[in-house]
């Protein structure tokens, strides 16, 4: 009897986690959009803009910066801090360098909105993040929030 109870509990947990995974892309987008808009309102994030793919971004500091914007082939140098909607930090780096095209789609779409020395925030829906295959420390299908500063790019 004890094992049957354990089996039923395990099945219930699996079903609950599957329900979240089985959302259609449209349902996931709507859920993420609602969560992002609530986060923006709760944290009073000003001047946010939305892309056609559902990425929200806000440029918070625009020091005079002549020049162009990076693209997917650019090697960028960034300061960043990534958190979940509840504020849990999952990653941060200072002066890290990488090719933009080798990052998650939300970064590939959001970072080209920044010029050198600009700071801001990326609010990335799960479909532009890691979706169901995140690295350790990030839940599957999580909305990701990044504070970013584009230091340089080539």
- Domain regions of the chain by residue span: 24-153
Fold of 24-153: Chitinase A; domain 3 (3.10.50)
Asked if residues 103 and 57 have their Cβ atoms less than 8 Å apart, the reply is no
Burial 55-84 (b: 16+ CB within 10 A, else e): bbbbbeeeeeeeeeebeeebebbbebbbee
Q: Is the pLDDT of residue 14 over 70?
A: no
Quote the pTM value.
0.84
Hey, what are 22's tokens? 């089985």
Q: Is the pLDDT of residue 18 over 70?
A: no
**What average pLDDT does the chain have?**
89
Q: For residue 13, what pLDDT is reported?
A: 39
């Amino acid at each position: 009897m004890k094992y049957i109870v354990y089996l039923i509990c395990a099945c219930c947990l699996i079903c609950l986690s599957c329900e979240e995974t089985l959302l259609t892309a449209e349902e996931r987008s709507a859920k993420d959009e609602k969560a992002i808009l609530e986060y923006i309102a709760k944290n009073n994030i000003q001047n946010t803009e939305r892309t056609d793919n559902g990425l929200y971004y806000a440029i918070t500091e625009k020091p005079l910066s002549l020049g162009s914007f990076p693209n997917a082939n650019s090697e960028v140098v960034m300061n960043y801090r990534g958190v979940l909607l509840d504020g849990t930090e999952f990653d941060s780096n200072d002066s890290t360098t990488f090719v933009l095209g080798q990052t998650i789609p939300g970064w590939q779409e959001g970072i080209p909105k920044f010029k050198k020395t600009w700071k801001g925030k990326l609010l990335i829906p799960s479909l532009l993040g890691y979706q169901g295959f995140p690295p350790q420390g990030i839940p599957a299908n999580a909305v990701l929030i990044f504070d970013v500063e584009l230091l340089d790019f080539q």
